[in-house]
Structure 1
Amino acid sequence: MSENELKIPVIEDRDAAGDVAEVYDVWRAKSGRQNMPGILKCFSHRPDFLRDVMKFGDTVHFSEGHLTRKTKEAIASWVSYLNRCPY
């Protein structure tokens, strides 16, 4: 496996159709960003589950609670850095 080859095949933005394209469009509209993050594309072959993952993220990660969203984002960024994760 080459360094740039993904272990989990994903559906890229340009190739999304049907339910996958609809879920990607919902995410784009909500986030204001143009490209789906790779971490979400990991679930692209199960758009029903991708919807659940996005809902979970909205509820847990992207909401205010004991920790502010800003603090949660900082923790997630640090963990990604430590794991050498590009997301």
Structure 2
Amino acid sequence: MADIPTKIQLIEDADAAGEAATVYDEWRQKSGRQKMPGILKCFGHRPDFLRDVMKFGDTVHFSEGHLNRRQKEAIASWVSYLNRCPY
């Protein structure tokens, strides 16, 4: 991911410091994954807003409803693929 140029300078996992590092660690602990997704790294410059984005994702995108989380993530992955999104 670090090799793909983006319009927004991402804060990579190894470069996160201060509050950004804290929020990245919170996400890792909650998700069980080790690498922060690029789409969330876009908000690393505003850790307060990043927390809001993560909360929004948890309550809207990943809550159970007409579609379950697995179905929603499959749709999101397909749309990202169609859009050639590097995230």
- What is the TM-score when the length of structure 1 is the normalising length? 0.91
Taking only the aligned residue pairs, the percentage that are identical comes to 80
1:83 is matched with 83
Q: Which amino acid is 2:80 matched to?
A: S
Q: Which amino acid is 1:9 matched to?
A: Q
Q: How does 1:1-87 map to 2 (within 5 A)?
A: 4-87=4-87
Q: Cα distance, 1:4 vs. partner? A: 2.8
Q: Cα distance, 1:5 vs. partner? A: 2.0
- The one of the two structures with greater contact order (alpha-carbon pairs below 8 A, sep at least 6) is 2
Q: Which segments of structure 1 move beyond 6 Å, counting only runs of 4 or more?
A: none
Q: Cα distance, 1:17 vs. partner? A: 0.9
Q: State the distance in 1 between where 2:67 and 2:81 align.
A: 20
Q: State the distance in 1 between where 2:18 and 2:35 align.
A: 17
Q: Which amino acid is 2:74 matched to?
A: A
Q: Cα distance, 1:63 vs. partner? A: 1.4
**Local SS of the residue matching 2:57:** helix
Unmatched 5+ stretches in structure 2: none
- What is the TM-score when the length of structure 2 is the normalising length? 0.91
- Equivalent residues, number: 85
Unmatched 5+ stretches in structure 1: none
